[in-house]
Structure 1
Amino acid sequence: MRNADEISELLRPLSRIEPGQPDGHASGAGARALLASITVREPGRAGRPGLLRRRPRRLVPVLAAAVVLAAGIVVGPSLLEDGGGAATSYANSAVEIHREGDQYVARIKDPFADYDRYTEAFHAVGLNVDLRPVPVSPDAVGKTLGMVITGKDSPDPDPRGTPDPSGPRFGGVALSVETAPRGCHPGRSSHCVMVMRIPAGFAGGVNVRLGRQARPGEEYANFDAALAPGEMFAGVRLRDGRSVHDMLAEARKRELTAVFSLIRTDEETGGLSFEPLPADRVGRGWIVWHAWQVKAGVIRLLVTPERLPENPFHNGSAPPPAS
């Protein structure tokens, strides 16, 4: 087996092909010159041009290696294309995308990568997808926080009149985000990955926020899910408001640190704003109307000094905190 230095020495005097040059195509003059220069040299005599091959069998592995190297330089990306010139797969350090039947399947290899790496890959296969993994609580990892579909494409009408749990469908194929194996938690297992499926031929745009594992100390994007099943304050009811005293007891029971924000209501618009408060300014008899999960181990209680006529979060949600 030849080592890398021997192969480099063998290839050094051969014709060169520069990527992007007019003769750099696999069928161009440069490629033909490279192939010709390979086939007239014998291993071990790379520095003596013009010698014909005398032992074809010995040369076959080296010739094959040289041709593969040349192909990688000249037409590397085209190895991922179909016969019509359309890319069918693409991979970088963050994501790999493959055409599988009537859909593209994207597997997220690095959920902490900059989202530009995902955009690069989707654009390479002709898809206008803006995928942004965001930090979330453990139970929301691998779940979609929001999906916006733009452009002329619109989902197939659902004859049942109810949303398809697998995701919107285009031409009968669902546009979905999931984990593989289904239900696993990326970050907890090396065998668990996030997977996005997009119908081939989809001409619209997709903006997706996908939950990823939060780094230590990183704040959650799904802050408003604290009362949902599996989250920090799962099972806590705040429809009618509860005292700070009661909620601090809940936080201690769940080994959480509580921080506070004062709720302010704009009398003209009815909009809400929130003012962070130090704990020593909050009375134990104040009323908690809602809770946000800030980051691992920290819950934010939204409070007023006195009881209001009704819960300002009667629709069950709250606007995002000020950045």
Structure 2
Amino acid sequence: MNQFQYVRPTKSQAAIEAVAKDPNATFIAGGTNLVDLMKRGIATPQKLVDINRLPLNKIERENNGLRIGALALNATVADDKQVRERQPLLAQALNAGASAQLRNMATVGGNMLQRTRCSYFYDLAMPCNKREPGSGCGALEGINRMHAIFGFSDKCIAVHPSDMSVALVALDATVLVTGPKGERRIPFADFHRLPGDTPEKDTNLEKGELITAVDIPDGPFTKYVHYQKVRERASYAFALLSVAAALDIENNTIKAARLAMGGVAHKPWRLTAAEQSLVGKPATEASFRQAAEVAMQGAKAFKYNAYKLKLGPNTIVQALRTAASAA
């Protein structure tokens, strides 16, 4: 690991200035991803700005919704009474992520910013446009069984690893950030980027911008929800594919729906067309299968991940079926 400077500001403005003015500086909170990247030589910051002393860990009611501070721990959020009652889909997704030890260290902001777990990204001997722009993508013709089936480019087919983010995009969350130019709000669906020609850019954050909180609006999705995660081992593994499903059902008719997938794209993948196909339909297997068909339109597999073309719709149906019977 390279040598680095370490500072612990107590005010947000000081932290923002420290990162904004230094091209080799970065924020650190729980460090559950960044420290791994530093150990492997993938990330080599010369200054770490520890933000754990900033007052950004509250979970509170705000503007007809929940505001969750960026430094709130994943385990704390998942166990919070307000979250479990008002946003149970988020609680389920958080509890499906990583191990209990990691959830006790990882923060909400850091969870959003974690980088792909693509093996070619982590292997310094292999080409990776995300790690070294212009070097190529080893996964394109390599072992790509974990990789994307939506939204990829010829520069990168990696997927975003977060479970929490799949629930947040389904729940129409908004990210609050503060930076050198002031405060702004970013719809969660616009926070992460598709790879395009710049796969090294994971998000639409600007240099020096600090995530301060996430806002989740109140909604009718407090009862019929389910987070379905398919992984190679139940104890601790990233998703081969996951589905966040939330339904508003009255007299067996679906009044509203929210659907998103993980493990299929460079960002959490919202399934708006599939959601719309469910509205006004009965909460039946036939409706769920039709929605799954709609959801998978445009999916394209590579040599080793063709199984996702079958796993995807089956997981969507299972998630909807389980959500509908959650009561």
Q: TM-score, normalised by structure 1?
A: 0.28
User: Which structure features the higher share of helix residues?
Assistant: 2
Q: TM-score, normalised by structure 2?
A: 0.27
Bigger RCO (CA 8 Å, 6+ sep): 2
User: Which structure features the higher share of strand residues?
Assistant: 1
Structure with larger Rg: 1
